[in-house]
Amino acid sequence: MTAASGLAVAKAARPPVLWAPLLKDALVAALVAVLLALPLVGLQTYDIGGVALGIRTHFDWVAIGAAAVFAGRLVLCVYPQLYGGRTVGGQTPLGRVAVWANRQVLPITLAGIALAVALPFLPFSSRYLIDLGTTVLIYVMLGWGLNVVVGLAGLLDLGYVAFYAVGAYTFALLARDLNFTFWEALPFSGLVAASFGVLLGFPVLRLRGDYLAIVTLGFGEIIRIVLLNWSPVTGGPNGISDIPRPSFLGLPFARSAPEDTTTFNQFFGLEFSPDHRVIFLYFVILAMALLTNAFTLRIRQLPIGRAWEALREDEVASRALGINPTTVKLSAFAIGAMFGGFAGCFFATRQGFISPESFTFIESATILAIVVLGGMGSQLGVVLAAILLVSLPEFGRAFAEFRMLIFGAAMVGVMVWRPRGLIAHREPTLRLGPQPAPR
């Protein structure tokens, strides 16, 4: 409240900074931080042997944290008074970066793709990094898929993980019972997931907002619980193991091949290395994700894509203009689900083992957070958010039990400075005038 009134004053005549309310505000913030941090950070239990636990106190950490919060809050409040409001988009440093990123989408995209392609061959690259990159790319692909449903069509879907699961189980079952390989099963995974998308779409056609979210949430849970309990088919909680790995144009990645097959390393005359498969998987998901992106960018500029956006903006007006809400909504659900299915198929072949545990609500929440955090409808934003959300907890491992705290703080920070997402910018699907010059 104090910050808001300070802002108004600053706008009027920009008088000298009013320190008293700012100091009070910063003190309150520091007090809240102390109250929060005292039990979380200040007290640490440790094993003193036997059955007892000792308590170690870290009041110095709490004091440092409170001082940091005090200073940070003070700077936050003084900054707009000295340099004008920070409410206008593009005013904060983060906002300026986002605006710059919007103007330079093409170079950034090309640089990103180049970096992604080169990643496995960089000197500092490791198996761990490539694995992490693969995970990030799975989430990028899921984010792009969900972006069709949430960002473009404006249908809040809290059960997106269901399609991911359907794709994964489709491949696992096809491989187990019909000996399908990854590449043979991939189209079926997408197709089956898309059918489930339509299946979900029908009952929720008339629902919007909160009600739609609840039903999709339920749908996600239904799929998971069915997978958990339909043991004869899905293996129940034990899941399905020994899912075949993908081959490179029919060449398997293996140390020793069975009779009359050539392995990848034999064919290319390379020393066998388990890294080959890891790198190959990385490139497979990279290609799949880029295809998803190309498809989404293209379809956005087609009548069906514009109809999705029109439906998001105003369903009544769309109907009056001859758009059939049923088919348009179902197509959004189907296409979003299809990409989820593809990603699920890849997930199954990468893990070699799947169980319902991989498809819990928290996955849906993470994917949705990626879309919302990135900026609804922004393709580049999804990439940034996926990198942030997936790799931040990984890099935070050094902080052990505080990593979720850091993760939460980062999310709060983004929502404070970029409430509409990292890149909240919508590029028109077509223009009459020339492209505005980069600023």
Partner 1 sequence: MTGAGSAVPLLEVENLTMRFGGLVAVDDVSFTAYRGEITAIIGPNGAGKTTVFNCLTGFYRPSAGRLAMHKGAEILKLERIEGFRIVRRAGIARTFQNIRLFAGMTVLENLIVAQHNPLMKASVLSLAGLLGLPRYRAAERAAVERARHWLDRIGLTDRADRLAAALPYGAQRRLEIARALCTGPALLCLDEPAAGLNPRESAELNDLLLGVRDEEQIGILLIEHDMSVVMGISDHVIVLDYGRKIADGTPAEVRADPEVVKAYLGEDEIEEGSNKRDIVIPAQAGVQGSAAGDGGTGFPRPRE
Shortest separation between residue 432's beta carbon and partner 1, angstroms: 4
By beta-carbon proximity to partner 1, the closer residue of 295 and 361 is 295
Q: Which of 1, 8, 20, 316 binds partner 1 (CB under 8 A)?
A: 316
**Nearest alpha-carbon partner for 282 in 261, 256, 253:** 253
Among 31, 298, 399, 415, binds partner 1 (CB under 8 A): 298
* DSSP bridge pairs for 46: 54
Compare residues 49 and 428 and give the one whose CB is closer to partner 1.
428
Amino acid making up residue 189: S
Task: Assess 302 for contact with partner 1 (CB under 8 A).
Answer: yes
Nearest by Cα to 340 from 362, 364, 360, 356: 364
208 lies in the site for partner 1, by CB under 8 A: no
Out of 293, 318, 349, 379, the only residue in the binding site for partner 1 (CB under 8 A) is 318
Touching partner 1, residues 324-343 (CB under 8 A): 324-325
Cα torsion 46, 47, 48, 51: sign: positive
* Among 317, 338, 369, CA closest to 158: 369
Which of 322, 362, 397, 400: binder of partner 1 (CB under 8 A)?
Answer: 322
CA distance 191 to 99: 38
Under rule CB under 8 A, which residues in 387-426 are in contact with partner 1? Answer: 426
Are the C-beta atoms of 425 and 98 separated by less than 8 Å?
yes
Cα 124 from chain centroid (whole Å): 25
Binding to partner 1 by residue 382, rule CB under 8 A? no
Question: Which residues from 109-148 bind partner 1, rule CB under 8 A?
Answer: none
Q: Does 49 bind partner 1 (CB under 8 A)?
A: no
Residues 6+ apart with CB under 8 A from 174: 180, 184, 185, 188
How many residues in the shown chain lie near partner 1 by CB under 8 A?
A: 30
Question: Angle formed by the axes of helices 127-147 and 325-351, to 10°?
Answer: 170
Residue 205 engages partner 1 in binding (rule: CB under 8 A): no
Q: Which one-letter amino acid corresponds to residue 177? A: D
Among 71, 110, 222, 321, binds partner 1 (CB under 8 A): 321
- Kindly indicate which of the ranges 179-187, 222-230, 323-331, 403-411 contains the residues binding partner 1, using the contact rule CB under 8 A: 323-331
Q: Which of these ranges, 23-31, 228-236, 321-329, 367-375, lies near partner 1 under the rule CB under 8 A? A: 321-329
Backbone angles phi, psi at 409, to 5 degrees: -60, -40
Which position among 131, 275, 309, 394 is part of the footprint of partner 1 (CB under 8 A)? 309
**Choice between 232 and 433, CB closer to partner 1:** 433
Reference 227, options 157, 169, 159, 178; nearest CA is 169
Instruction: Tell me which residue of 7, 12, 5 sits closest to 86, measured CA to CA.
Output: 7
431 binding partner 1? (CB under 8 A): yes
User: What is the contact mask toward partner 1 in residues 143 to 172, using x (rule: CB under 8 A)?
Assistant: ------------------------------
Minimal distance in Å, beta carbon 313 to partner 1? Answer: 4
Give the binding range for partner 1 (CB under 8 A) out of 134-142, 247-255, 304-312, 381-389. Answer: 304-312
SS3 content of the chain, % helix, strand, coil (to 5): 70, 5, 25
357 binds partner 1 (CB under 8 A): no
Q: Which stretch binds partner 1 (CB under 8 A): 93-101, 241-249, 308-316, 409-417?
A: 308-316
In the chain, the amino acid numbered 243 is I
Measured N-to-C along each axis, helices 303-313 and 275-300 cross at an angle, to the nearest 10 degrees, of 70
Radius of gyration of the chain (CA): 25
β-strand partners of 54? 46
Stretch that binds partner 1, among 130-138, 264-272, 306-314, 336-344 (CB under 8 A): 306-314
Task: Pick from 1, 8, 106, 430 the residue near partner 1 by CB under 8 A.
Answer: 430
How wide is the angle at C-alpha 389 spanned by C-alphas 383 and 391, nearest 5°? 90
Tell me how far, at minimum, the Cβ of 187 lies from partner 1, in Å: 17
Binding site for partner 1 (CB under 8 A): 295, 298-299, 302-304, 306-307, 309-310, 312-314, 316-325, 426, 428-433
